[in-house]
Amino acid sequence: MFLKAVPGLQKFLLWKTKHLSQQQFILILSAIIGFTAGLGAVVIKNLTHFIQNLLEGNLIANYHHAFYFIFPIIGLALTVFIIKKILRKPVGHGIPSTLYAISKRKGLMRSFQMYGSILTAPLTVGFGGSVGLEGPTVATGASLGSNISRLFRMNQSARTLLIGCAAAGAMSSIFKAPIAAIIFAIEVFSLDLTLVSMLPLLTASVSAILTSYFFFGSDTILPFELRDDFTISEVPFYMILGCICALGSMYFTVIYFRINTLFGKIENKFTRLLLAGTGLGIIVYFIPPLYGEGYGVINNLLAENYIQALGTNFLNDFLDNIWVVILLLAGLVVFKIFATSLTFAAGGVGGIFAPVLFMGSALGHCFALVVNHLGITDKPISTSSFTMVGMAGLMAGVLHAPLTAIFLIAELTGGYELFVPLMITALISYMITNTVQPHSVYTLELAKRGELLTHDKDQTVLTLLNINQIIEKNFIPLKVNMTLGDVIHEGVIKSSRNIFPVIDKNENFMGIILLDDIRPIMFKQHLYDEITVSDIMQRAPDIIDLQNDSMKTIMKKFQHSAAWNLPVVKEDKYVGFISKSKMLTAYRQKLIEVTV
């Protein structure tokens, strides 16, 4: 592991302390991390394209459609094999695993995550898994950022910022959209928007995009030039599109979690791989555009090349009928999330960014075609513009990142002519979706467990607190069948605390006894054998569940119960107590730590 015993590191750290300020050193590291994140993006993308070119070579070109069914299963099987036999650790789903590391592991990411996604994501996507490469690229860059900052003994606040720099660098390198990349890091990773954070993010984003230009030249993932001007008469249609994107966003999230929950109940990984992989193979066989990331489909839609975009299917002879095209586009919107979810359920490694853009483009294009061919307007609306705005609308709703959506599409279109419609659609989509689903696909599971960092500083500090570090265990438990005499001799005399937990023979928590409860009778020795613990114990004001209660919930329990000590249980068994004073002390220390 490169974190151990690097020659000369101690001398360098001493030199750095004398000659560089913390801010100067963070700027240097952000440039390095931006470069490494950009390099990670280049490696993942090139490996994926290498695999795709092999599979689409002359050897099997004539039979390629038949292989739509089998290729994804092969790729998923190889991915699962590498995770289980080589890495032997779960790779995780890119951005959610990075958010978890920030909230619950103090920004520390394991070293295998630097290469885990590089080994697995190209196999998943290159063989046709219907997911994207953005999430794995961000996770790779974030792990590099985390481990580099760990190498140089950076504190948690700086480590989190450098992880954000890695995320910005990864997105900047992939899309060649440096401004959107910075906003993405701020929105998704809940970084503070200050000059202290902006300069490193800017440095990392520039460093990464230069790396991308060096390897890929001026090629972009979505080479598109805006051809049609925005007119005020189109505003109502962009507003309607915003509402439709909100519905599409909610549909995406519901189907995604339902399929993953359904397959998550299957404990055998081989069975899960076989069932989900077969399901994916069937979908991709009948709907070839769902094969792989789908950026080729988006580019063909922008060029209105429907034969290339919709692939070979049983309706190929009818593509001159625009309503058949509309029907097929609607099918892409409906089934893309199924293909994506089945890819993840089978054990694939990837991200949801590309699927969101894919669905958004099909949705926007389909909407524009419907409006134009129903004869609603005197002048046809721009299908290419609505295709791009549809991507922003779905991104704003699914990812809960409206600013990222607006600036990303604006940068991809090479200007800001679409800025107003982008704002209209993204805002409406986000507001409606956020009302029904307060958390994005990235953050929903973390939010349910109370492990999500937000821009709310109090909430962030509570989330970062480690409950296990503030549990006090120097309390003497009393068995429920003990007598008053036993309480005096085994509890009161030996304990320095004025509260005693009561447990049964299986160590299940039953209640508490306060010293005030036994003080009036503790010197009446004739009662020592007559009174038992069950006679004098009382219910606890509230109980903290170690497995299910977040720090925010615990704080609320202290407020509502007005207690200074609350018992902690795990599966109904007594663990210890948490005191309000120790919790507040830990809160103050963590607040200082994250704001330094």
Quote the pTM value.
0.76
- The pLDDT tens digits of the residues spanning 319-377 come to 678 888 889 999 999 999 999 999 999 989 888 889 999 999 999 999 999 999 888 88
In the chain, what percentage of residues exceed pLDDT 90? 25
Per-residue model confidence (pLDDT) at position 66: 64
Burial 216-238 (b: 16+ CB within 10 A, else e): beeebbbebebeeebeeebeebb
Of the two residues 97 and 255, the one the predictor is more confident about is 255
The two structure tokens encoding residue 200:
């490193």
- Backbone φ and ψ of 468, nearest 5°: -65, -25
Answer whether 356's CB lies under 8 Å from 330's CB.
no
Whether domain 461-595 has CATH 3.10.580.10: the reply is yes
- Residue 107 and residue 160: Cα distance in Å, rounded? 6
pLDDT tens readout for residues 415-448: 678 889 999 999 999 999 999 988 777 776 665 5
- pLDDT over 50 (residue 468): yes
pLDDT at 377: 81
Picking from 23-37, 171-185, 220-234, 582-596, which range would have the lowest pLDDT averaged per residue?
582-596
- 322 within 8 A of 383, measured Cβ to Cβ: no
Q: Where in the chain is the domain with CATH 3.10.580.10?
A: 461-595
More confident residue, 170 or 110: 170
Closest CA to 391 of 435, 436, 333, 442: 333
Please determine, for residue 1, whether its predicted confidence score (pLDDT) is greater than 50: no
Indicate the CATH number of 232-451 among 1.10.1060.10, 1.10.3080.10, 1.10.3720.10, 3.40.50.300.
1.10.3080.10
- The CA-to-CA distance between both ends of the chain, in Å, stands at 29
Tell me the pLDDT tens digit for each residue of 39-65.
999 999 999 988 888 887 654 445 456
> Per residue in 390-402, pLDDT tens?
999 999 999 888 9
For residue 96, give the nearest of 53, 123, 134, 48 by alpha carbon. Answer: 134
Residue for token digits 């080729």? Answer: 296
Residue pair 3/154 in contact (Cβ under 8 Å)? The answer is: no
CB atoms within 10 A of CB 400: 23
**Per-residue pLDDT, 455:** 46
| Residue in 149, 126, 104 with CA at minimum distance from that of residue 43 | 126
**Fold entry, domain 9-216:** Clc chloride channel (1.10.3080)
In the 3-class helix/strand/coil scheme, how is 504-537 assigned residue by residue?
CCCCEEEEEEEHHHHCCCCCCHHHCCCCEHHHHC
Distances (CA, A) of 314 to 64, 130, 142, 328, 462: 16, 21, 44, 11, 56
Query: 459, 273 in Cβ contact below 8 A?
Result: no
What six digits make up the tokens of 392? 């922003």
Structure-block tokens of residue 104? 């619950």
**Contact between 83 and 148 (Cβ < 8 Å):** no
pLDDT score of 35 = 93
The mean pLDDT value of the chain amounts to 83
CATH 1.10.3080.10 location in the chain: 9-216, 232-451
Rounded Cα distance, 143 and 110, in Å: 7
Q: How confident is the model over 474-527, as pLDDT tens digits?
A: 888 888 888 888 888 888 888 878 888 998 888 889 888 888 878 888 778 878
Q: What is the model's pLDDT at position 2? A: 45
Residue 173 DSSP SS3: helix
3-state secondary structure of 46: helix
Measured distance CA(32)–CA(10) in Å, rounded: 19
Q: Which amino acid, residue 283?
A: I
What mean pLDDT is predicted for residues 79-107? 78
Q: Are strands 509-514 and 544-545 parallel, antiparallel or unpaired?
A: unpaired
The confidence score (pLDDT) of residue 267 equals: 84
Confidence at residue 444, expressed as pLDDT on a 0 to 100 scale: 66
Residue with tokens 């619950």: 104
Count the alpha carbons within 13 Å of 342 in the hemisphere toward its beta carbon. 24
Amino acid present at 191: L
